[in-house]
Amino acid sequence: MLAALAWRNLWRRPQRTLLSLLSVTLVSGLLVFVLSFQDGVYGQMKQTTLRIFDGYAELQASGYADDPTLDHAIAAPDELARQAQAVPGVSVAAPRVNGFAILASGPRSYAAVVVGVDPAREARISSIATTIRDGRYLTPSDTDAAVLGDLLAKNLGVRVGDKVTVLGSARDGSVAADVLTVAGIYHSGIPDLDRTILEMPLARAQATFQMQDAANTIALGGPSLAAVNHALPGLDALARRSGVTLMDWRALEPAMRAAIDLKYAASMLFYVSLVLVVAFIILNTLLMSVLERTREFGTLLALGMRPGQIGAMVWIELIALALIGCATGIAIGGAATLWLQATGIVFPIDPKLLAQFGVPSRLYPNLSLMSALAGPGALVAAIAIGGLLPFARVLRLTPALAMRGG
Amino acid sequence: MRRLLLSALAALAAAGPALAAPAPNADQILQRAFDNYRAKTSQTTVAMTIHRPTWERRMGVTSWTRGETDALVRFTAPPADAGNATLKLGNDTWVYNPKLNQVIKLPASMMSQSWMGSDFSYNDLSKSEDLLTSYTHRLIATEQAGGHTVWTIESTPKPGAPIVWGKVTIKIRDDSVILEETFFDQDMRPARRMTADKVGVIAGRPYPVSLTMQPLDKPGQWTRVETQAGRFDAGAPAYLFTLSNLQNPRS
């Protein structure tokens, strides 16, 4: 009965109601798109950045994160990699040896990180294999081959086919020395990588650095970051059983995580004010209509309706308005988002500039239950709580005074 | 080796009996310790033990020094390491590896890295004079121990000096043997400590024959340097401190 009354009341002033509906629709639709867009862009950013070298997650020898030395090693990395690959969501697990060494060519020498990799598996984890500028990436049959970043190659003055000397400390404290032939030069676009990382075949690195069959880390890849994130509980259980440490993307790229958290916090401020402004506009309209209808409420009270029922009726009007507006908003915003999700959004910004931040030139929003419901949900909640104000006002009415208009 | 390591670590040997001068100031104590220690040339035979929680490694080393800045260190054992050598001339450091048969000049970015897998860094070798030139010194304690007076000196880096440590405290015995050196990080927490485990006599000098360097944040990890024999001021042929001798030793 109350709901029927409320519905009738809404359409007694169709223009006002439609205007209110429109503002709720617009804002909730906008929130659906903006949240989806933000989620999509950050998702792509994370994925692109992690794809360059880290992998979507990583198993590390325990203690390696605090003290990244050869001493912290996984004894049987191949077996562990097989088990990790068996966890649903993980499609590839690549063991790595991470040594620190001097690279030298002729009179030039530079400090570098020497990473022993399994070429076939590594190429499915890291995009370095696809950014080879000169020569080629490592192949499974390579023995003394190496690929290094273009900045490192420039510093050392080496080209494809040249020899590079590796001199460092092996795991047992002896001298690790080797001579490798440059097979390829990559350009990942990340100066820190291009300046410091040389990749060589895993078996050779294990021999050079006296690692026997051990590795320091196992990089993990999957069809998407989300898939690997879903696999984290299973991987964590595996890590605990095997006495190693699991690093998720947050742990691998703490700076990126912090940047994204900061951006979310900043945009949250904007979303909250948007929701509040709209909630206030709607409330204002409703308060006006309550004032206008004081005589009507007085009559209803005189007829025997309890103040609580009248208050509930007003509140239902408000909620109906908010729900209808939000539903339309979700529908329109969601449809627009899905369409852009299929076509992608191109920004007129230099792609090279975007690439520095791991952002591709074509951006795709990512509509999810969360991004579709969070904004409109907050709006409905804000209006529902604010609606207690007119409700309280109606409760204070007495029939005699109200019928005289105040 | 002796000069290289020990001057970095500032272990000193006094030629002759200690002076009974009352309350010398910190600069004098340190300067005298360094001066007494600095023979014009030296040759020492040293055993270096690198200890890690999971393994221990013992290496034989012969070293030559000349003047204040030049040194040659050659590994003699075990067979896997024999032949590796480090040459320091002035501010430059080169390493030689027999397997590669190649001399490599150390890049500046490697200088803070571990030297031959030990708890000493290349900086400890090459910046051995820093303590005298880049710090200001203050005598903070005087005590009696084992029939000797032991001074404690606190050294703080001069403003703008390229020093990674917050400060260094050094305990020096009155016969100019340095007993202990503690390096503090920029937050003034002790980061690593070198201790003279044993003071003996080498070629007639009071000498810290066993020194242990220990990073304080890594329990179960240390490097010990034990001097077995030494000759001081016996002269050193000029060819010793050359790149060609680094690669092709004459003796």
Give whichever of A104-108, A115-119, B56-60 has the largest mean pLDDT.
A115-119
Q: What is the mean pLDDT of residues B31-58?
A: 83
For chain A, list residues whose CB is within 8 angstroms of any CB belonging to chain B: 67, 71, 100, 102, 104, 107, 109-111, 165, 167, 169-170, 172-175, 177-179
Which chain B residue is nearest to residue A110, measuring alpha carbons? B107
Give how far A134 is from chain B: nearest CA, Å: 26
The count of C-alpha atoms lying within 13 angstroms of the C-alpha of A129, restricted to the half-sphere facing its C-beta, is 16
Check CB contact under 8 Å for A175 and B116.
yes
Tell if the CB–CB gap between B52 and A71 is shorter than 8 Å.
Answer: yes
| pLDDT tens string A334-376 | 999 999 999 988 877 777 777 666 667 788 899 999 999 999 9
pLDDT-based confidence at residue A128 (cuts at 50, 70, 90): very high
For A276-300, the pLDDT digits (tens) are 998 898 888 888 888 888 888 888 8
Closest-CA residue of chain B to A169: B117
Does pLDDT of B43 surpass 60?
yes
Q: A354 phi and psi, to 5 degrees? A: -65, -40
Q: What's the rounded Cα separation, in Å, for the pair A92 and A82?
A: 9
Give tens-digit pLDDT for B207-243. 889 999 999 998 899 999 999 998 888 888 889 999 9
Cβ-based neighbour number of residue B20 at 10 Å: 7
Mean pLDDT across the stretch A158-175?
A: 92
C-alpha span between A74 and A208 (Å, rounded)? 17
Q: Which residues of B touch A170 (CB under 8 A)?
A: 117
Element containing residue A321 per DSSP (H, E): helix A307-343
Shortest distance, CA B63 to any CA of chain A (angstroms): 18
Nearest CA in chain A to B96: A167
pLDDT reported for residue B55 = 86
Count of alpha carbons within 13 angstroms of residue B139, beta-carbon side: 17
Indicate yes or no: CB of B109 within 8 angstroms of CB of A175. Answer: no
Q: Is the pLDDT of residue B4 over 80?
A: no
Determine the distance in angstroms separating the CA of B117 from the nearest CA of chain A, rounded to an integer: 5
Which of these, B80, B87, B77, B83, lies nearest to B228 by C-alpha position?
B77
B109 interaction partners in chain A (CB closer than 8 Å): 110-111
Q: Which of B52, B84, B110 sits opposite A175 (nearest CB)?
A: B84
Model confidence pLDDT, tens digit, residues B63-83: 998 877 788 999 998 998 899
- Tell me how far apart the alpha carbons of residues A297 and B2 are, in angstroms, rounded to a whole number: 101
Q: Which residue of B has its CA nearest to A109?
A: B107
Among candidates B81, B107, B113 on the partner chain, residue whose Cβ is nearest the Cβ of A109: B107
Identify the band that residue B104 occupies on the pLDDT scale cut at 50, 70 and 90.
Answer: very high
Mean pLDDT value of segment A188-207: 94
Report angle CA B54, B60, B61 to the nearest 5 degrees: 125
Give the one of B97, B107, B218 whose C-beta lies nearest to A110's C-beta.
Answer: B107
Q: What angle do CA A169, A173, A176 make, to 5 degrees?
A: 35
Using CB atoms, which residue from A107, A109, A173 is nearest to B117?
A: A173
Cβ atoms within 10 A of the Cβ of B127, count?
20
- Which residues are bridge partners to B214 per DSSP? B193
Which residue in chain B is spatially nearest to A171 when comparing CA positions? B117
Lowest-confidence region among A112-126, A153-167, B175-189: B175-189
Q: Does the structure show a pLDDT above 60 at B10?
A: no
- What is the reported pLDDT for B126? 61
Q: Are B95 and A71 within 8 A, CB to CB?
A: no
| Nearest CA-CA partner of A355 in A24, A48, A2, A18 | A48
A–B interface: beta-carbon pairs under 8 A: 60
ipTM higher than the 0.85 cut: no
Tell me how close the Cα of A146 comes to any Cα of chain B, in angstroms.
17
Say which residues have a Cβ less than 8 Å from residue A395's Cβ, sequence separation at least 6. A307, A308, A311
pLDDT at B83: 93
Grade residue B21 by pLDDT with cuts at 50, 70 and 90. very low
Residue B31 CA, distance from chain mean position: 16
